Amino acid sequence: MAKAASDSGPDSSGEPDGSREKGDVPGSTPSDGPAPTAPAAGSGSGSGAASDTRAGAVELPVWTKTLGWCGVAGLIYLLICAVSIISRGFAGLGGDAAHTMFAFAEHPWVGLSVGVLGTVLIQSSTTTTAIAVTAVGSGALPIQGAIPIILGANVGTTVTTSLVALTFIGDRTEFRRALGASTVHDFYNWLALLIFFPIELIWHPLEHISGALTNALYGTDWLPNPAHFNFIRAATGPVEHGVVHATSQVSSALGPLFTIVIGAVLILVAVRYLGKLLKMLMVGRARDTLVKAVGRNPYLAMASGMGVTVITQSSTITTSVLVPFAGAGVLTPAQVYPVVVGSNLGTTFTVVFAAFAGVGQDARIGLQAAFVHLIYNLFAIVAIYVIPLLRPVPLFCAESLARVASEHRWVLAVYLGTVFIALPALVIVLVGVV
């Protein structure tokens, strides 16, 4: 009951679509009626405490809270390390295959499918984009062939977040919440692709605008290279390198596979215990603080998602960390939605910053490819999120899939296997090979 009461409150206090999330918490009872008054602004501590006390919440000792929050920080660190470890494993396992796939990616539909499938294999949209840029610089692909790959990479990078949601599959309610929060990223990117890919095929606005920006800004050298201040990578590097070094000693061929398995196990452990700690700690003022930071103003939440992604240099990390909060009922899919949108934009700035620092024959084309990614995501924000008409669509699709998949678990396996693997592979084979 405590969870139901506090879940329904924050939704109605900021996110434009938040009112749709009142039904997100199953098992509602008549006591849910007065719940929206619990997280009232200004007097939140008093009413929140009263709500928690009324629901029978237990106030934890200070030392227990301190240890708990230290545990949360450690598990988030472990989760970030695990995502990086999986990316390294897939890069070692699938990098050569991705290079081979780009050889016949001149057809736009094949390029799009290569971008999706290649990113699923190596778990890094930045790596996929970099490989495409290299292919362009070497003459293997024109810029027109690289653009569909970049758009496809924007979609393929969402798979990891859905896999994190699978760790909640043991509890139907938590699984539905986590999956709804994670797949909103999928459907947002699919909707953006559905809108802009046909437009690019006909009128090529991304190619023209990115080319104009590149000609105007190339060689200015006024943006820093984010690789020089990537504190997250520096913090997680020892764990990541330690695991990769250990698995490479086992077998050079099977080492990447062992790396992926270790990363997956670490995600399972981190998310499982992170959810347990958050349920215990995120009550009263702690819950209200997080909801205010993420759910009160969607555009501030978007800016937060962008900022965190610039720091971590991974939209996957940003969105994956939020999934346990959604599974625990602390955040709703509607509140995670703008953070996801911001993370999409944040990862493009990283590529642009790095492209400005590039030198050599591929530098100019690399900067144009980076601008393609940036412009595409800016257009997507305006068309899907800023304009209210399409804003509810990704959230509705994500919640619908989560609701069905929580009842029939095989639906998620079919969705992930078909959309991210079977369909792109089929297009590559039928159009690119046959």
Query: Can you tell me the distance from the alpha carbon of 138 to that of 177, in angstroms, rounded to the nearest whole number?
Result: 45
Rounded average pLDDT over 50-72: 65
pLDDT of residue 212: 92
Using one digit for the tens of pLDDT, what is the confidence trace for 373-425? 899 999 999 999 998 999 999 999 999 999 999 999 999 999 999 999 999 99
* Residue scoring higher pLDDT (392 or 331): 392
Rounded average pLDDT over 181-191: 95
Distance (Å) of CA 24 to CA 10, 174, 181: 12, 10, 11
* Structural contact between residues 120 and 425, judged by C-beta atoms closer than 8 angstroms: no
pLDDT of residue 14: 39
DSSP one-letter code for 102: G
- Name which of 327, 395, 2 is nearest 173 in CA terms: 327
Phi, psi of 144, deg, nearest 5: -65, -30
What percent of the residues of the chain are helix, what percent strand, and what percent coil, each to the nearest 5? 80, 0, 20
Q: In the chain, what's the furthest Cα-to-Cα distance?
A: 68
Using one digit for the tens of pLDDT, what is the confidence trace for 290-328? 667 676 688 888 988 888 777 666 677 778 778 888 998
Query: Can you tell me the distance from the alpha carbon of 318 to that of 306, in angstroms, rounded to the nearest whole number?
Result: 9
pLDDT of residue 13: 39
pLDDT of residue 130: 65
Q: Taking the chain, what is the end-to-end CA distance rounded to the nearest angstrom? A: 58
* Residue scoring higher pLDDT (379 or 164): 379
Q: Across all residues in the chain, what is the average pLDDT?
A: 76
Rounded average pLDDT over 120-146: 70
Name the pLDDT band for 223 (thresholds 50, 70, 90): low
The answer on pLDDT for 31 being more than 60 is no
The answer on pLDDT for 79 being more than 90 is no
Query: Can you tell me the distance from the alpha carbon of 186 to that of 290, in angstroms, rounded to the nearest whole number?
Result: 24
pTM of the complete model: 0.69
Rounded average pLDDT over 255-270: 81
pLDDT of residue 358: 55
